[in-house]
Each structure stands twice: as structure tokens, then as C-alpha cells.
């Protein structure tokens, strides 16, 4: 009879950390695939509008069309993700994204797309994202243990952002070589592959969530969790400003500066790739660094997000812009890992998706308005003034959060001490008579020490 397979007989089992289970591995792989496509697609959609004869204001309207349904449906998506199997919500959202991006690609490749058509298709993509994000974050948070959360989230984000590097650089190069339509087609294929991977998530070990009193009751319960935590709502309020102005700078002003001053989409794609390289550097740092004051360190690292807007305002040459994008990417990754670790530590598992939905909702609530008015603001005040204004708002909003006591004081909870198994004394040895011969070890009975 052949011996049963062991970890030693499978080299792949040794290479994967013990805490990186099936769900964590599938979630990470799917995130890599979607980020390869989506980072290039964001650039492609902007240049698709410009190549169709659109203006900077039209680019902003298409960007707003993506984020408006994201804001409108996030809370519903979060409540559904805490009521339905999260992996099914994720797969359905991926299917919608695949269809909408495929239609957008076909529209660009076969003719002259109209502004309303591009806005409608990007709105469908934003709708899918609204249902996907809370479910995905809840699934990821529940896939790791508290002891390994910091390392797991850092590795996940490193893999995800590493794919973003390739996606942004490859997307910029492909747009310059063969046009934005093919990049959108690649994004549609990436959503199809990622949805297939997420269909294999194992929810058998996920604890059943007790049914609530209805959708509105679930939303109220999530709101109570959100509003009673000052550190949570204050940082979300901060990011409603930060995400809005950074989004306007990168979705609207960045492509325009690239077209007018940097030489086209390829240099802008390179700059975005350096942002991704910075996020990898930040994730590597967070694999080994566990700051005690999670939110204080994270908030201090939001200040460098003002640098890209300032760099575009100057404007810096390509190498200078790549440098500030690298620094801001490193800093925001430190914030991101600390933020996810804090959420994992402080929020009950059965409420992950609802609280995540309020987080996402608050953070992106002003983004549609910011991207929609980016063009008119440029016309009224000039692009340089608008970009300096974006940088100033990042600095002011982040400084304000430091006045919240919980942000400065919330600390990482220590991992529970590991039990040490003490060998039982041999029969006849001192202390052996202290336990009945047939009595179980109380440590084993309590589950502190695994019996095997």
C-alpha cells in the first residue's frame, strides 16, 4: 500500500505558508488577474474619450459615470454581501464587469463611440464594482487569522499592486501601439478569468451568519458599528476629500498633462507603474514592520499623496514624476496594510462587508463630483492652480484627522500567547501520580494543545 501523501511529498505545499489557505490563495490570484487588466483599462478609457474627439471635461464625465453608481449601490452591496454567500456576489459582479468592458471594447474598435454610450458602459462597470468591493473585502478579512493578518494583507496587496505595475505599463504601451480598444478587451477577458477563479472559493468553513431583520435593519446595524467608532468615520471623512482630489488629478489632469507636456500615454503609464512599484516596496516593508500605533503611522503616510498633484502642477519631467509617484505609492501602502489590520482587529466578522461598504461609500462619495467638475475648474482657474489645490486639500484633510484622539492612540493588540506543550512525566517519575492514569490532559481537553 502506498503511504498517504504528506506535505514533504508535495514541494508546493512547503512553499505556501501555513496561513495562506485555499481561499486566500484564490483571492490573491484573482486579484492579480483583474489588476493586470483594470490598471491599463483606466488609462484606456481616458484616451478612448480623447481619441473620439472629447475634451478634458468629457474625460471627467466618463470617470464620474463610473463612480456615481459605485456610490449609489455600495451600501446595498455591503448589506447583501453579509446576507448572501460572498463568493456568489463576487462572481456575479465580475460577470457584469466582463460584459460591460467587452461592449466598451467593441464600441471603440468598430466605430466612433458617442459620449453617452461610453458613460453608460462605464456606469455598468461601476455598478459591478459597488457590489464586488464589500463582498471581496469581507471575504479576504475572513480568510486569515488575526495572528497573521499584517503579513497576509501585506502580501495580498503586494501581489495585487505588482500586477498593477505590469497592467499600467503594458496598458500605456498597448494604447500607444494599437489603441485603447484592445486594452479594454483584455480587461474584459481578465474579469472572466477572475470570476472563474472566485467560483472555486470554499465557503464550507465560513461560519453561518444569523439572518437579520431585513435589508434596512442590516444597514442600520452597520451604521451603528460605523458611527460609534471615531477613528473609523473620521478617516473615512478624510478620504472622501483625499480620494476625490487624487482621483480628479489622476483620471482627468494626469492624461491631459501627459498629452500636452510629457509626450503621450506611454510616459503617464510609466509614472503609474512607478506608483505600483512604490506600493510593492511599501508592502515588503509591512511584511516585517508591525507598528504599534496602527492609525497614527498610517495617517502620517497619507501626506505624500499630495506629491503627484504637485508634480503635475510644476510639471516635473518624467523621471521626477516617476519619483514622486514611487514615494506616494510606498506611503499609501503602509496606510493600506495598517488600515486593513485595524479593520480586521476591531470589526466583528459578521459585519465586515457592511462596515466595509460604509468605508467605501464615504471614501468615494465625492469622487463623481470631483471628476465631473475637474474640467470646469480647469477652465475657470487653470490646470496648474487646480492641481495645487488638489495637493493642498490632501495636506489639510490629513492634518485634521490627527486631532482625533483614537487615531493617535489606537494600538495593535498583541497576539495571544502560544501554549507550550510540556511532556508528561514517565510512569513512576515524580509528578506522575498527580494525574489518574486514564485521565485526559486538561490542556488537550480544553483545546489549548492539539492532541496530534
DSSP 427: T
DSSP secondary structure, 29-74, as one string: HHHHHHHHHHHHHHHHHHHHHHHTT--HHHHHHHHHHHHHHHHHHH
User: What is the C-alpha to C-alpha distance for residues 93 and 72, in angstroms, rounded to an integer?
Assistant: 15
User: What is the C-alpha to C-alpha distance for residues 237 and 350, in angstroms, rounded to an integer?
Assistant: 24
Grid coordinates representing 242 are 483625499
Rounded to 5°, angle at Cα 268 from 263 and 269:
125
Residue 178, burial from CB neighbour count under 10 angstroms (0-12, 13-18, 19+):
exposed
10-residue mean pLDDT series, the chain (452 residues): 42 55 85 87 86 80 83 84 83 93 91 87 90 84 74 84 79 84 91 91 62 72 88 94 91 87 82 85 88 93 95 92 94 91 85 82 84 87 94 95 94 66 41 32 27 32
Question: What pLDDT shows up at residue 146?
Answer: 64
Phi, psi of 446 (to 5 degrees): -80, -10
**Residue with cell string 523621471:** 319
Question: What pLDDT shows up at residue 204?
Answer: 64
Grid coordinates representing 169 are 505599463
Question: What pLDDT shows up at residue 419?
Answer: 47
Amino acid at each position: 500500500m502506498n503511504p498517504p501523501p504528506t506535505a514533504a511529498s508535495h514541494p508546493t505545499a512547503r512553499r505556501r505558508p501555513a496561513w495562506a489557505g485555499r481561499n486566500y490563495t484564490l483571492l490573491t490570484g484573482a486579484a492579480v488577474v483583474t489588476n493586470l487588466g483594470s490598471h491599463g483599462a483606466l488609462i484606456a478609457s481616458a484616451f478612448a474619450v480623447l481619441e473620439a474627439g472629447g475634451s478634458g471635461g468629457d474625460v471627467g464625465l466618463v470617470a464620474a459615470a463610473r463612480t456615481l453608481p459605485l456610490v449609489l449601490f455600495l451600501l446595498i452591496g455591503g448589506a447583501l454581501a453579509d446576507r448572501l454567500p460572498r463568493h456568489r456576489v463576487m462572481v456575479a459582479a465580475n460577470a457584469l464587469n466582463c460584459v460591460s468592458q467587452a461592449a466598451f471594447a467593441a464600441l471603440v474598435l468598430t466605430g466612433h463611440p458617442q459620449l453617452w454610450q461610453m458613460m453608460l458602459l462605464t456606469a455598468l462597470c461601476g455598478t459591478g464594482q459597488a457590489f464586488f468591493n464589500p463582498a471581496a473585502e469581507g471575504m479576504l478579512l475572513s480568510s486569515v487569522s488575526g495572528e497573521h493578518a499584517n503579513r497576509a494583507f501585506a502580501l495580498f496587496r503586494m501581489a495585487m499592486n505588482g500586477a498593477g505595475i505590469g497592467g499600467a505599463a503594458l496598458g500605456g504601451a498597448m494604447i500607444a501601439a494599437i489603441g485603447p480598444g484592445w486594452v479594454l478587451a483584455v480587461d474584459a477577458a481578465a474579469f472572466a478569468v477572475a470570476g472563474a477563479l472566485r467560483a472555486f472559493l470554499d465557503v464550507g468553513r465560513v461560519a453561518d451568519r444569523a439572518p437579520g431583520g431585513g435589508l434596512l435593519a442590516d444597514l442600520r446595524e452597520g451604521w451603528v458599528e460605523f458611527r460609534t467608532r471615531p477613528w473609523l468615520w473620521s478617516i473615512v471623512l478624510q478620504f472622501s476629500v483625499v480620494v476625490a482630489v487624487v482621483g480628479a488629478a489622476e483620471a482627468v489632469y494626469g492624461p491631459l498633462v501627459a498629452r500636452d507636456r510629457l509626450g503621450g500615454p506611454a510616459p503617464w503609464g510609466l509614472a503609474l507603474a512607478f506608483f505600483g512599484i512604490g506600493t510593492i516596496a511599501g508592502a515588503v516593508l509591512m511584511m516585517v514592520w508591525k507598528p504599534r500605533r496602527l492609525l497614527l503611522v498610517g495617517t502620517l503616510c497619507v501626506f505624500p499623496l499630495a506629491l503627484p498633484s504637485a508634480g503635475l502642477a510644476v510639471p516635473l519631467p518624467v523621471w521626477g514624476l516617476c519619483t514622486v509617484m514611487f514615494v506616494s505609492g510606498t506611503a499609501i501602502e503602509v496606510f493600506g496594510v495598517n488600515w486593513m489590520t485595524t479593520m480586521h482587529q476591531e470589526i466583528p466578522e459578521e459585519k465586515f462587508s457592511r462596515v466595509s461598504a460604509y468605508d467605501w461609500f464615504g471614501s468615494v462619495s465625492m469622487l463623481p463630483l470631483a471628476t465631473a467638475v475637474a474640467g470646469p475648474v480647469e477652465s475657470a482657474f487653470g490646470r496648474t492652480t487646480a492641481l495645487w489645490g488638489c495637493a493642498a486639500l490632501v495636506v489639510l484633510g490629513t492634518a485634521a484627522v490627527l486631532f482625533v484622539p483614537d487615531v493617535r492612540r489606537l494600538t495593535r493588540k498583541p497576539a495571544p500567547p502560544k501554549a507550550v506543550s510540556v511532556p508528561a512525566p514517565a510512569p513512576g517519575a515524580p509528578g506522575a501520580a498527580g494525574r489518574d492514569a486514564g485521565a485526559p490532559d486538561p490542556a488537550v481537553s480544553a483545546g489549548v494543545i492539539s492532541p496530534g
